[in-house]
Amino acid sequence: MALRKALLLIMCAAAGATISTSAQTTRGHTVPDARMKATVEDLPDGQTLFTVQNRSTQPITALAVEGTRTMLPPKKGSGRVVRYFDSVANLGHDSELGPYQSHTFIIFGKSPSPSEASRDVELKAALFADGTSYGDPAWVNKLEDGRKFLSHCLGNVSQRLNAALAAGEPSQTLVGELRQEETVQMKDAGSLDERVIANRVYETVIHYLSASFSENVPEENRIRVLLDQFRTQQAALAHALPAT
């Protein structure tokens, strides 16, 4: 159970927050695709929510949303945030959206407030279970590339875990080597998204192998549990990725 909770950290897009929905302002967001409907909610406490509803018969498996804030005069400056939803990459955390099911993103926090900055939110891309997609091809590729890189990282770590299992390598030694490999993966990553994925995969494994809750579990069993979870994750990714 502890490992399952830890694995949910991989590629999670947004932190949870307390949402007050009284007296909110709701506005529509045009999505030029009849398969989806989106709304923006500006809450009285300053938070902005973005909800995507599936209007198709095919489940939605991934979404990418971008929010931008631009300071109002006399202040200057702007900021950008990206939020992801992915029922394949976040297996066990995000669940695919069936017909008329919705997912809500917390896009902006309370500061700077709407009176200090304009706020814009846009649905950039969506992936459906039948292999079709919506959005800018660059953003569709971003979602698919994230899945590919996650599969790559899981494959590298699984290979290393199998070698450690065969050699009877102590967890303490393995953790040290994994930290070195993480540094290399982070350096070689081609984007911020890839660095985040690599960091979360390696840190999930290192945390599980090092944490006190696993001290009473034989080292061999710890590694086998990780490998079983990674095989399940990789199978889901392989099924969802486009054929090459």
pLDDT digits (tens, 9 = 90+) for 22-51: 344 556 567 889 999 999 988 877 788 999
Q: Is the residue at 17 inside a domain? A: no
- Whether residue 145 is found in the same domain as residue 218: yes
Average pLDDT over residues 103-129: 87
**Number of independent structural domains in the chain:** 2
- Whether residue 147 is found in the same domain as residue 123: no
Domain that holds residue 72: 25-135
Top-ranked range on mean pLDDT: pick from 9-13, 116-120, 122-126: 122-126
Domain boundary among 91, 117, 135: 135
DSSP for 62-101, written as a single string: EEEEEEEEEEPTT---EEEEEEEEETTTTTTTS--B-TT-
User: Does an H or E element contain 231, and which?
Assistant: helix 219-240
Q: Is the residue at 116 inside a domain? A: yes
Q: Is the residue at 4 inside a domain? A: no
Q: Is the residue at 2 inside a domain? A: no
CA 93 to chain centre: 9
The pLDDT value given to residue 28: 58
pTM of the entire structure?
A: 0.82
Q: Is the residue at 7 inside a domain? A: no
Separation CA 100–CA 215 (nearest Å) = 45
Strand residue runs (E) in 87-225: 102-108, 117-128, 133-135
